[in-house]
Amino acid sequence: MENDSILLSIAVLGGTGKEGKGLAYRWAKAGYHVLIGSRTEDKAVAAAKEVSEMLGDGVSVVGMDNLKAAQEANIVVLTVPYSAHRSTLESVKDLLQGKTLVDVTVPLVPPKVSTVQMPAAGSAAQEAREVLGEGVQICAAFQNISHEHLLGEEGAECDVLVTGTSKDARANVIKLVEAAGLQGWDAGPLENSVVIEGMTSVLIGINKKYGSTHAGIKITGVSK
């Protein structure tokens, strides 16, 4: 990736959760400057320290509150629970203009998390577009890969489907997928995120039924 990793900083808002820390771990390992954001700065600092200790010297992981992380980063990744989705987006709306947002949120509604329940906008990613407006490029990705895969050292037998508001935005996010050591696929416009987000509930149900924790998806019959 030449010097792209040195030039880009990635903010992971809600990065104190398992999925957020897993992505932060992967990108910091690849050489990116990673900002872990949280509503509570102390939690973000603790999570950044945890990821740094996992990787050792030479990595760049910093914890701060969501607002500061969103302001400083080139690319912002949202990994909050769906219950905090809209409020987090509204709090950083002005700071995201002109940037790319990668929305990892899945509209899970407890207790029936294995039942697909999509919001009125169609998907969480489409809801993000409604909140943020046309000044932000929005992609949806990483919904179908578990944190066990992200925090593991071995390669994951799970592909990442990327939808987004433009072809260029999707291509840039696929580069981040590959930097995380995963296989990414352009899955078309943001409207297609309804399928990808909904698949998460299906995978949760499969995990429960068959005693697993990290069921995933794999694209076959196509090669790059």
Radius of gyration of the chain (CA): 16
> CATH number of the domain at 4-210, please?
3.40.50.720
Give the pLDDT score at 155.
62
CB 169 within 8 A of CB 189: no
Residue with tokens 């990414």: 184
pLDDT digits (tens, 9 = 90+) for 51-102: 999 998 888 999 999 999 999 999 999 999 999 999 999 999 999 999 999 9
pLDDT digits (tens, 9 = 90+) for 128-147: 999 999 999 999 999 998 87
Would the pLDDT of 160 be above 80?
yes
Structural domain boundaries in the chain: 4-210
pLDDT digits (tens, 9 = 90+) for 164-210: 999 999 999 999 999 999 999 999 999 999 999 999 999 999 999 99
Give the pLDDT score at 192.
98
pLDDT digits (tens, 9 = 90+) for 11-43: 999 999 999 999 999 999 999 999 999 999 999
Look up residue 135 and give its amino acid.
G
Q: What's the full length of the chain, in residues?
A: 224
Strands (E) located in the chain: 9-13, 33-38, 60-65, 75-78, 100-103, 137-140, 159-164, 183-189
* Euclidean distance between CA atoms 213 and 209, whole angstroms: 10
| 179: Cα separation from own chain's centroid | 13
Is the backbone of residue 175 left (phi > 0), alpha (psi -120 to 50) or beta? alpha
Would the pLDDT of 116 be above 70?
yes
